[in-house]
Structure 1
């Protein structure tokens, strides 16, 4: 293995093509194992150092051009070497295109060609390359890359859901071919995350997603992939595990300081927590007299269908509910209870998910409410009375530098369970939340 600054150009008694193969393999080893030989403080230098190593390899490839008989493999190695960089490279695409024309059975060339098309945002061409590779050999690289591609296709919601399901199956196949490959586990985690948001947000699917990410993290190569930590942080944020989300965004930013998204997400989350904390502490900055007036207007009549100790669910089952104060709630789910309060503020954020507001109850207790899967343009407003049945409660406790966030929060996964101003909300107020995986890899 080469250390920092050393040439990756091999020496010894090898044929020119063998020298090229060794040099390109060492180039990828340098990229994939960079943080096993360098500190995080050197992360910003990774692309620059990788470019220097690439230049050395290209010099070698240029020097042996006339000595190689197998032009298809030679061209594949040129294209593969250039594909080591994160950005699209036309010379790489040209070399790889020539390689597969000369030898259509070169699976590795098909895979690298597909990756170049992917970088150039030509999704259909990328798909055809990975399918072409699989026609010759079932391999983990084609399968997991195809999994990524499939999630970008589909003309309507039904077709997109079908393709996401197929994406999961392709990623599973890749994992089965090499269960120790963390990159395949990472792609499977992304596929599950996409499925979670595409199909009814089944908690089991999100659990499978996080399990796949945990498997990926065991692999030193995948664990040094900023995308892994970024995407898992997105999932943590959705689960309101904000401490873990902040750690994930920070890790992604440290691994790739030149990629702005992790730092932006980290700061957006800190800003969000700061705003919510302030709004809970000040009860929406509502003045004393106005606040007391709002509290005095809270009436059990605003419980709507939840008034009277029970209600009938959509399945026809009778659900017993006791009207209680916020201070009477326990952590996590509160079966058989309903709370009622007045909206004192909504929290404006850069991201629409979740829709967040604060409410106070008759005992003058204030809490935050995070509302998911809300139809665009809908949200409660200040002064609304909101009833929440069987609330899921969290006492959030997050530490960030010298900042501490600690407040009571209720999570509501669908607006249709709410009663607002005495009326139960309809399905027209519901729409699925859409969160995507890393902009770099997906």
Structure 2
């Protein structure tokens, strides 16, 4: 039995389990975490607050879905629905305000309140809560991650990098943090090159490595797998000037992309997602000149939602295949040996 397993057994026998477990993990892994005591009255009030937030958002989603299922609504009905939603969300806002008035130094509540404000498009107010949470508890990774999201959308990209790196430092096993840093480096590759003192090519390789780390930690996540696979569309291997080297690099890029989409196909949760991956297989195969394989994958796409995309790819396939046949027909015969 490992030292950590033995320690966990001791924790189960401890009188103050949350404190004992937190101390054990800090000793064994070097990662300091806060494990709340579920019997603490403040913790109970906080959990009740989160439950109210979740319940309100579920109710609002249900109201919107019901309206959509009923079809078109007149202006008066839409105004009434908006007022009803606003009233319900105001109740949650007031609950957060009341809690923080009593417990102004509760960092996790400020993170949650910030997420609530962000969900209702009050992004600047959300940022205030997350910054306060970081100030109150600098070791709270969710606060740094959320603040990184804010900077990535509204502020300095350099600050986004700094916040994501801090979140990863505090919780290096959280796949979302790797994903967020990967997205930001990929989207803002020039800023990332300056911040990390890397070439743009190296930035992209780093971003792809971060995606792979996220998938390693969350290997069953189809959305993450497709996000990683789609990233291969956004760059090509740099040209070296040597035709043979460039050809091999392009082939590897193609194989890496196909491998990523193959993994996504294995994780598809239904036929719609699976057929969507078949379209990506075909797109890559068309560009690689693998026309028969592309046509086979397109034949597997039968859902009507993909009709337009499938039709466009078939037209491209027919055109490129015809051009290839013409090129081969006009090519001079090989010299006799």
User: What is the TM-score of this pair, normalised by structure 1?
Assistant: 0.44
Shift of residue 170 of structure 1? 1.3
CA-atom RMSD in angstroms: 4.8
> Which one of the candidate residues 235, 245, 250 is aligned to 1:200?
250
> Which one of the candidate residues 113, 126, 135 is aligned to 1:101?
135
Alpha-carbon distance in structure 2 between the residues aligned to 1:30 and 1:181: 27
SS in 2 for 1:116: helix
> Which one of the candidate residues 100, 111, 114 is aligned to 2:145?
111
1:173 is the counterpart of 2:213: yes
Alpha-carbon distance in structure 1 between the residues aligned to 2:263 and 2:133: 35
Correspondence for 1:127: 161
Q: Which has the higher contact order (CA 8 A, sep 6+)?
A: 1
> Which one of the candidate residues 19, 38, 45 is aligned to 1:16?
45
Identify the structure with the greater strand proportion: 1
Q: Please give the residue correspondences for 1:38-437 in structure 2 after superposition, counting only pairs within 5 Å.
A: 54-84=89-119, 89-120=123-154, 122-138=156-172, 139-155=174-190, 159-194=199-234, 200=250, 202-218=253-269, 236-240=282-286, 247=303, 250=305, 270=311, 272=312, 276=315, 368-369=319-320, 387-389=326-328
| Structure 1: segments with no counterpart, 5+ residues | 1-12, 252-265, 277-353, 357-366, 372-379, 392-417, 423-442
Shift of residue 133 of structure 1? 0.4
Would you say the 8 A contact 1:182–1:218 is kept in 2?
A: yes
Alpha-carbon distance in structure 2 between the residues aligned to 1:267 and 1:188: 24
Shift of residue 134 of structure 1? 0.9
Would you say the 8 A contact 1:24–1:57 is kept in 2?
A: yes
Shift of residue 22 of structure 1? 2.8
Mark the CA change 1:71 to 1:121 in structure 2 (over 3 Å): closer, same or farther.
same
Would you say the 8 A contact 1:20–1:77 is kept in 2?
A: no
Would you say the 8 A contact 1:114–1:127 is kept in 2?
A: yes
Identify the structure with the greater helix proportion: 2
The alignment covers a number of residue pairs equal to 250
| Structure 2: segments with no counterpart, 5+ residues | 1-40, 73-81, 239-248, 287-296, 333-337
SS in 1 for 2:119: coil
Alpha-carbon distance in structure 1 between the residues aligned to 2:170 and 2:261: 33
1:167-206 Cα shifts (integer Å, max 9, x gaps): 2221222222233344443433334554667762633212
